[in-house]
Structure 1
Amino acid sequence: MRLVQVTIPAGKREAVLRVLDEEGIDYVVTDETSGREYTAVAYFPLPTSAVEPILEQLRDVGLEREAYTVVVSAETVVSKRFDDLKDSYAEKEESEERIARQEIEARAEELAASIPTYVVMTIVSAVIATAGLLLDSPATVVGSMVIAPLIGPAMTTAVGSVIDDAELFQRGVSLQVVGIVLAVAAATVFAVFVQVMNLVPPGLDPLSLAEVEERLSPNFLSLAVAIGAGIAGAVSLMTGISAALVGVMIAVALIPPAATVGIGIAYSDPALAVGSAVLVAVNMLSINLASLIVLWYAGYRPEHFFRRDKARIATLKRVAVLVVAIAVLSLFLGGVTYDSYQSAQTEQDIRNAIDTELEDPVYAGYTLVELEVETTAENLLFQRPTAATVTVGVPPDAGRPGLATGIETRVAAEAGVDIDIDVFYLERERGAG
């Protein structure tokens, strides 16, 4: 529910009150005695979904933007007429919680934080994310997402596009680009500092950290996360729900991958840097695409009718650009997804070949305990198996009849890969009970 306050210009009082009467709206009118061009102030409660259509009608009868219009949240309205009005608009509107265009524009402007605040919070969140990744601490990484101010620019961009506000749109785009660049730069500087000061073990391989490794090879599931974040952000914005939790979701898609890019640069690991950079780009584009489509579908348009065609054309062009960009990057995601599938399939084939080899009577009592397949990056990111470490449980005092060579031959024949095999023997003795 909303409480609306409007100042009524001279000569427009009857027209404004006629609109309110025709819509069955309760109102209070007071005289305006400041001596300016306004003669009265009207106060009236409205259902949330009624704010935009009522303000449109008032604008049509002469209540232009030069007049003051204030819309605030109302906790409770006790009125039979208001209940009837609420029911009436519930039947007309698809969503009772959808806020007015004027409100969503104001919320978008509020979410676009001032430059100093945005810069500081982005740098701090990137540094914390980098620390969390190097500590391999999921809790710390999550903490960095909570303070990241990235929901504002994405939503500002979408709102600016659908209502044809070029300044708002450009501000949103600029803040997004600046935010990602700052996050990567801050993560790089911090990761270099950590290395120089020996705050992590010398010779640390970032890919040995689970939090870092999972962002090395993004796949199509990453796209789903980003699209979901964009949809959630737009829905939270247009329903007036707190954007704090949704902001964390958007930060999930951007801050840790951006920090991983910085780690890849600091550790001179191009595969890590490129893979994470692609993830950042895909996520940012997908968030913008999803939020833009949701807001346009929800019916947000420019205030003036003659600007709506311009906004529609501009929005369609931006959607097309985003779709093409995501499609191009999705080729990379598709390749990584397929490569991940192939790697998993190859490892399973190697395991099956080893199991088959151990079924030979020569290896009676031998059991496969552990298999670790080593891979190397080929064409920067795609993985190729090069070696495998096999741990085999054997009875005490069992012979060692050239198992490594047998496994190599079997793997080459059945799995179709030529890799080096190292075998470790683990003696096992089972009790009589």
Structure 2
Amino acid sequence: MLHLRVVCPQGRTADVTGVLRDEPGVAHLVVHPGVAVHPAGDLVEADVARECADDLLGRLADLGIDHDGGITLEQLDTVLSDRADAAEEAAPGDGADAVVWDELINRTGEESRLSLSFLTFLTIACLLAAIGAVTDSPVTVVGAMVLGPEFGPMAAVAVGLVLRRRDLVTRGAVALAAGFPLAMLVTALATLLFDAAGWLTADALDALDQVDFIYEVGPFSLLVALLAGAAGMLSLTSAKSSVLVGVFISVTTVPAAAFASVAAIEGRWSEAGQSVLQLGVNVVGVVVAAALVLLLARSRSRRRGADRALSDG
């Protein structure tokens, strides 16, 4: 379940509690009169089933509470209550399949910001992937794939396309367009240092047989990207973040970017070009699949809303 906190003007508390009372998926409704200081007002709290949270947020927003007060949601890991169990049973649908759109927008928007930490993680991931590639170490490459933060911007682009949020598309695209070239440039400079130290030669790349999946583009490259994009978006919408680790390991974006830099410095232009193509195929595949998952989820949400409107009528 989710914990809902609403700060509202005292004159609107009755409207807020009315919305919450009418929702069968709500339990533990509590009103704290006059405790809110800035903005001044009442504090209303309740535990809500995830499958009804999106509809509740929409109704509260229709009351203007998001402008005159504030609305917050928190994930509850453990709830021991017969009332809560009854609320989850009464709520339509399945909580694991429910999409809280405002939560998704906030999460993808935050994770797609072009920040120093994003650039640092992406650069370190590319350096690790480059080291794993030149040493023919798939374990190191996998570690780099887990570390890479690039799924956040790709998810933001998908959400922005489906919801027609230009700000999310722009934010995610800028993070990818700025992050990968910078990380690849640093990786190229590191490759020059490896050459100067005698740690790497062009002939050494001929012996790679454990990590050739990085630059070998084929039909399975797109298929894996599509499956990873679908799984990643499902994990975001269902709040099962642990699944994202598997998604990161599946997507060959960071290794491809890193190997493109290494191959270019060593004059292996064919492998460099194939790596860039692999990067593009994976990015496009993830975004397309994630957007398709969101379109299906949005269609289900609209059907549930229509069915509920008919039953209420």
What TM-score do the two structures reach when normalised by structure 2? 0.86
Runs of 5+ unmatched residues, structure 2: 301-313
Percent identity (aligned): 24
Deviations 1:331-358 (A, max 9, x none): xxxxxxxxxxxxxxxxxxxxxxxxxxxx
CA contact (8 A) 1:261 1:273 kept: yes
The CA deviation at 1:192 is: 2.2
Matched, 1:86 2:85: no
CA contact (8 A) 2:5 2:73 kept: yes
2:309 aligns with: none
CA contact (8 A) 2:49 2:95 kept: no
- 182-191 or 138-147: which moved more? 182-191
Code of the residue aligned with 1:22 in structure 2: it is D
Question: 1-side partners of 2:120 and 2:12: how far apart?
Answer: 48
CA contact (8 A) 1:157 1:169 kept: yes
What SS is found at the alignment partner of 1:127? helix
RCO comparison, higher one (Cα < 8 Å, 6+): 2
Say if 1:74 and 1:300 are closer, same or farther in 2 by CA, change over 3 A: farther
Question: 2-side partners of 1:96 and 1:205: how far apart?
Answer: 48
Matched, 1:133 2:133: yes
The CA deviation at 1:11 is: 2.4
1:72 aligns with: 74
What SS is found at the alignment partner of 1:12? helix
Code of the residue aligned with 1:262 in structure 2: it is S
What SS is found at the alignment partner of 2:260? helix
1:63 aligns with: 65
Question: 2-side partners of 1:213 and 1:269: how far apart?
Answer: 14
Deviations 1:129-168 (A, max 9, x none): 1111111111111121121111211112222333333222
Deviations 1:397-428 (A, max 9, x none): xxxxxxxxxxxxxxxxxxxxxxxxxxxxxxxx
Question: 1-side partners of 2:214 and 2:70: how far apart?
Answer: 50
2:290 aligns with: 291
Question: 1-side partners of 2:234 and 2:100: how far apart?
Answer: 13
The CA deviation at 1:48 is: 1.2
Matched, 1:51 2:53: yes
Question: 2-side partners of 1:37 and 1:136: how far apart?
Answer: 59
CA contact (8 A) 2:229 2:289 kept: yes
Question: 2-side partners of 1:213 and 1:8: how far apart?
Answer: 58
Say if 1:191 and 1:211 are closer, same or farther in 2 by CA, change over 3 A: farther
Runs of 5+ unmatched residues, structure 1: 302-433
1:206 aligns with: 205
Question: 2-side partners of 1:138 and 1:35: how far apart?
Answer: 56
What does residue range 136-215 of structure 1 map to in structure 2 within 5 Å?
136-200=136-200, 202=201, 204-215=203-214
Code of the residue aligned with 2:4 in structure 1: it is V
1:101 aligns with: 101
Greater gyration radius: 1
Question: 2-side partners of 1:33 and 1:144: how far apart?
Answer: 48
Question: 2-side partners of 1:150 and 1:67: how far apart?
Answer: 34
Say if 1:249 and 1:228 are closer, same or farther in 2 by CA, change over 3 A: farther
The CA deviation at 1:63 is: 2.6
- 16-25 or 271-280: which moved more? 16-25
Say if 1:188 and 1:35 are closer, same or farther in 2 by CA, change over 3 A: closer
Deviations 1:223-271 (A, max 9, x none): 1111111111101111112255145235x42011111211221111221
Say if 1:34 and 1:227 are closer, same or farther in 2 by CA, change over 3 A: closer
2:308 aligns with: none
The CA deviation at 1:182 is: 2.4
Question: 1-side partners of 2:220 and 2:293: how far apart?
Answer: 20
Say if 1:14 and 1:148 are closer, same or farther in 2 by CA, change over 3 A: same
Question: 2-side partners of 1:34 and 1:215: how far apart?
Answer: 55
Question: 2-side partners of 1:41 and 1:34: how far apart?
Answer: 6
What SS is found at the alignment partner of 2:3? strand
The CA deviation at 1:174 is: 0.8
The CA deviation at 1:36 is: 5.8
What SS is found at the alignment partner of 1:227? helix
- RMSD in angstroms over aligned alpha carbons? 2.4
Matched, 1:248 2:248: yes
Code of the residue aligned with 2:30 in structure 1: it is V
Matched, 1:237 2:236: yes
1:267 aligns with: 266
- Larger helix proportion of the pair: 2
What TM-score do the two structures reach when normalised by structure 1? 0.64
1:41 to 34, 40, 43: 43
